[in-house]
Structure 1
Amino acid sequence: MKTKSPSTIDEYIQSFPKEVQTILTNVRNTIREAAPNSSEAIRYAIPTFIQGGNLVHFAAFRTHIGFYALPSGNTKFQKELANYKIGKGSIQFPLDKPIPFDLIRKIVKFRIQENTLKEKKTKAEQIETKIRRNSWW
C-alpha cells in the first residue's frame, strides 16, 4: 500500500521521530532566515524553497539529512563540502554529526544570487527578442 505524500512541509517534518523533527525544523528555519522572500512547497515529495525558481530542497533519511542545492551549489562550496558525501546536486549531512547550519546559510544565499542573475538574464533576453521583432532592419 502506498503512503500519501505530505502536502506541506509541516506534514513532512511531523512524519519523522522527534529527534529528526528537531533537525529538520532547524534546517528549515536556517533556510527561511537566509531566504526571507522565498516560498515553501513540497516538490518531488520533499520540502522545497522557491525564489526565482527552485532554490534548495532538503529531506530526511535513516542516517542523514539530504540537502539539494543543485550542482552549482556543490561546485561553489566544494572545499567546505569535502567532509561530506556529495553527489551531482546532493549533499549528505550525517545525523550523528553536527549539521553545518552556517554552510547551509551560505549555500542558500549563493543560490538566491544565482537565481536572481538567471531571472535578470531571462528578462534581458525577452526584451532583446521583442526589440528584434519590432525592428525595421
Structure 2
Amino acid sequence: MTATFATVDDYIGSFPPETQAVLQEMRRTIHRVVPDAGEKISYQIPAVTIGGKVVVYFAGWKHHVSLYPVLDGDDDFERLVAPYRASKGTLKFLLSEPVPYGVIETVARHLLAQHQASA
C-alpha cells in the first residue's frame, strides 16, 4: 500500500533526516521564486500552486530528489538542465552529490513565467 499524505510537512517528514533537509531547502527555494504560493499534495507528492493551479511539483526518492514538469526552454536553459534531465519533463538530483539549488531556482522562475503566460 502506498502512503498517503495530508500535507507537504507530512510528506517531507516521511523521509530520513538528510533527505528532509534537502526537500525543505527545495521547498524554500521554490517559495522564494513563487511569491504568495500555496501548497498541496497532488499525485501523492508536494505541489506548489498559484490560485490553486500547480506551478511545480517536487519529490523525494531513495537516492535522489526530483522536480516536475520541466518543460523545454531556450538553449541556455536546456544547457543548464541537461545534466539533470531524467526524462522529458523530469529533473533528477542525486542525493550523493551537492544539490544545485541555483538550478532549482532558475527552473522555478521558468515554470512561473510559463504559468503566468498561460494564465
Looking at structure 2, the residues matched to 54 and 15 of structure 1 have their Cα atoms a distance apart, in angstroms, of 22
Structure richer in strand, relative to its length = 2
TM-score of the aligned structures, taking structure 1 as reference length: 0.78
- Helix, strand or coil at the partner of 1:58: strand
1:31, CA displacement in angstroms?
0.6
1:80, CA displacement in angstroms?
0.8
Larger-Rg structure: 1
The one-letter amino acid paired with 2:118 is: K
Residue 45 of structure 2: aligned partner: 46
Residue 8 of structure 1: aligned partner: 7
CA contact (8 A) 2:72 2:78 kept: no
Quote the sequence identity (%): 31
Greater shift in the superposed pair: 104-113 or 13-22? 104-113
Instruction: Give the root-mean-square deviation of aligned CA atoms.
Output: 1.9
Aligned residues: 118
Residue 92 of structure 2: aligned partner: 92
Q: Which runs of 5+ in 1 are unaligned?
A: 120-137
Q: 1:75 to 1:4 in 2, by over 3 A?
A: farther
Greater shift in the superposed pair: 63-72 or 15-24? 63-72
1:115, CA displacement in angstroms?
1.0
The one-letter amino acid paired with 2:101 is: F
Looking at structure 2, the residues matched to 74 and 88 of structure 1 have their Cα atoms a distance apart, in angstroms, of 15
Q: Which runs of 5+ in 2 are unaligned?
A: none
Residue 17 of structure 1: aligned partner: 16
TM-score of the aligned structures, taking structure 2 as reference length: 0.89
Residue 72 of structure 1: aligned partner: 72
1:28-55 CA distances to partner (integer Å, 9 max, x unpaired)? 0101111122110000000000125211
